Amino acid sequence: MRTILAYACLSLLVGAPAALSQERNYTLAVTGSFTTSSKLFYNIDDPNEIARNQYLSLSNVLGVGIDIRRRIEESGLAVGISVEYISKLDDISESVSSTAIAAVKDGFVVVPIEATGYFTIPFSSERAQMYMGGGAGIYLGARHYQYSTESARVIDQKPGYGIHILTGFCYRISPVIGLRSELKFRDVQFQSTNVFLPSYVSLPAPNYQPFSSRINIDGMTLTVGLAAFF
């Protein structure tokens, strides 16, 4: 029995490089992301420049995503498309009088859709690959703002457009499975218009007029994930 197991392990060790050399052209990955910082500009229509530049800082932004890539044979190049879901909501206390404090939640949800080209760095091996990439994307998002028990309704959304660059590393733990990590730099911007609807609540909403906001996700993004080759 021990002899059979030894031969099996030896076969796997000898056969792994050969299996890895049978390149698969497609990669499907599921990822999680962490972005260091973002800004929510809440007075973008104010005529005063100082007021327009005021923002709420939102840090440690989390997201999940999926991407698919197609390798271009014998070139070291690949192209891909990715979709993410990123959200951030912070709890904030806001004074409405000398004796009353309103519980406020403020943040955003955004779905980046990005197309990227990748270039494998030449000194990479079949098992461990380093690469660089860049591309463009569209960003669909909205502000989520809750004052006391009332949530502001989203009545208009303006998507944003931008470019990105990245560097990454992928380690193949088997012919069909790999671990991937990337560092991405991008400037995500989009606008959202919200409004509170009049209702009977314990604390009054700030106003009942539509208000517009701009969200800017400008921090460094780290992603890690599991990739399948096929």
Tokens of 25: 């052209």
Q: What is the pLDDT of residues 131-157, one digit of tens each?
A: 999 999 999 999 999 987 788 999 999
The amino acid present at 85, given as its one-letter code, is Y
Say if residues 178 and 171 touch (Cβ distance below 8 Å). yes
| pTM for this model (two decimals) | 0.84
Where do the domains of the chain lie?
24-229
Cα 27 from Cα 227, distance rounded (Å): 6
The pLDDT of residue 3 is 45
The amino acid present at 49, given as its one-letter code, is E
Cα 201 from Cα 221, distance rounded (Å): 39
Provide the CATH topology of domain 24-229.
Answer: Porin (2.40.160)
User: Pairing between strand 153-158 and 77-95?
Assistant: unpaired
How far are the Cα atoms of 176, 224, 228 from residue 179, in angstroms, in the given order? 11, 8, 9
DSSP category for residue 9: H
The pLDDT of residue 78 is 97
How far are the Cα atoms of 169, 179, 182 from residue 186, in angstroms, in the given order? 18, 23, 13
The pLDDT of residue 97 is 55
Q: What is the chain's pLDDT, residue by residue, as a tens digit (230 residues)? A: 444 334 434 343 344 444 454 668 999 999 999 999 999 999 999 999 999 999 999 999 999 999 999 999 888 899 999 999 999 999 986 655 555 677 889 999 999 999 999 999 998 898 999 999 999 999 999 999 998 778 899 999 999 999 999 999 999 999 999 999 999 999 899 999 999 887 655 555 567 789 999 999 999 999 999 999 99
Say if residues 170 and 178 touch (Cβ distance below 8 Å). yes
Say if residues 196 and 203 touch (Cβ distance below 8 Å). no
The pLDDT of residue 2 is 44
The pLDDT of residue 75 is 87
* Angle, alpha carbons 121-124-127 (nearest 5°): 140
DSSP category for residue 212: E
Cα 175 from Cα 228, distance rounded (Å): 9
Q: In which element (H, E) is residue 18 found?
A: helix 2-21
The pLDDT of residue 11 is 41
